Amino acid sequence: MKINYNKIFNIKNKKAFVIGGSGVIGHEVCLALQESGCEVFNLDVKFNKEKIKRIQNIYFDCSKLEHLEKKFSQLMKLNGVPDILINCSYPRTSDWKNNSFKKINIKSYKKNIDIHLNSFVWTAKITADNMKKKNVEGSIILLSSIYGLVGQDISIYKDTKMTESMTYSVIKGGINNFTRQMASYYGKYNIRVNSICPGGIKEKNHNKKFVKKYLDKVPLKRFCRPSDIAANVLFLSSNASSYITGTMIVIDGGWTAI
């Protein structure tokens, strides 16, 4: 059978929900989907004032778990079930920086697990159940991290004010295994579930010593770019990845290879 490769990469006129679409990664994901012809719904708590055709901004606070199921289900009733769900959100408590092994307390730990890991899990489940109900052969993409696959190298934080995060690794590891479990359950309904595990993205205020130590461990000698992630979202959203589910796409410049 001859394959039309232009066609299998095409996602024009599909509907995509992007949770956390106003962040650095989420914004790039929204633009990539919009440029590819998708109808994009950015679900976030803050928005850029710039209005972009085919991107609709809808207020949605995924950290409010007590209202999450009702609000998210209402969104689908009003706007339809998406073909694609991408969760790029990064909900966290005000004391997130104190989630290191030395400073963490159980209250902060439990709250961050709730608002981050559990919000990812529940929005993905609600979406998959609605895709199943409406016979949508959908793609669910959850943003994880290399620290859901490997432990953090503590040495790269030496002589900086940066620390490891106990909670972050639990959250991202949980997202990865939930991805596998979802793929196992929803595969018979032609619903694919994958996660993306990027390496570090450079920030303006990154410590110079940290930057050098980090890049010394990366074979490609650069940080991950939001566009690297967005390009892989397009791939996982299209039929070009129709036989890929339960997989972690690692975008780390080779960090986890050595």
Counting the structural domains of the chain, the total is: 1
Q: What is the pLDDT of residue 50?
A: 80
Look at residue 212 and tell me if it is in a domain. Answer: no
Strand partners, 249: 196
Q: What's the pLDDT tens digit per position in 184-193? A: 999 999 999 9
Which range of residues forms the domain containing residue 144? 5-150+163-202+224-250
Q: Quick one: average pLDDT of 6-26?
A: 96
At residue 2, does pLDDT exceed 80?
A: yes
Q: Which of 8-17, 50-59, 144-153, 248-257 is least confident?
A: 50-59
Q: Quick one: average pLDDT of 12-34?
A: 97
Count the residues in the chain.
258
CA distance 214 to 72: 38
CA distance 80 to 49: 25
Look at residue 215 and tell me if it is in a domain. Answer: no
Look at residue 258 and tell me if it is in a domain. Answer: no
CA distance 86 to 21: 9
At residue 247, does pLDDT exceed 90?
A: yes
Q: Which residue's structure tokens are 């608002």?
A: 115
At residue 88, does pLDDT exceed 80?
A: yes
Q: What is the pLDDT of residue 1?
A: 74
Whole-model pTM: value is 0.96
Look at residue 169 and tell me if it is in a domain. Answer: yes
CA distance 107 to 117: 15
Look at residue 100 and tell me if it is in a domain. Answer: yes
Q: Where are the alpha helices (DSSP H) in the chain?
A: 5-8, 24-35, 65-79, 106-112, 119-133, 166-186, 208-216, 226-237
Q: What's the pLDDT tens digit per position in 107-147? A: 999 999 999 999 999 999 999 999 999 999 999 999 999 99
At residue 3, does pLDDT exceed 90?
A: no
Look at residue 26 and tell me if it is in a domain. Answer: yes
Q: Quick one: average pLDDT of 43-52?
A: 90
CA distance 127 to 138: 9
CATH of the domain at 81: 3.40.50.720
Backbone angles phi, psi at 44, to 5 degrees: -155, 180
Look at residue 213 and tell me if it is in a domain. Answer: no
Q: Quick one: average pLDDT of 52-62?
A: 95
Look at residue 209 and tell me if it is in a domain. Answer: no
CA distances from 129 to 60, 75, 83, 186, 239 (A): 19, 14, 12, 9, 21
CA distance 224 to 253: 7
CA distance 22 to 18: 9
Two tokens, residue 122: 């529940």
Distance of CA 14 to the CA centre of its chain: 19
**Do residues 215 and 209 touch, judged by C-beta distance below 8 A?**
no
CA distance 149 to 256: 8
Question: Any idea what DSSP says for residue 116?
Answer: I
Task: Count the Cβ atoms, other than its own, within 10 Å of residue 224.
Answer: 20
- Angle at which helix 119-133 crosses helix 65-79, to 10 degrees, equals 30
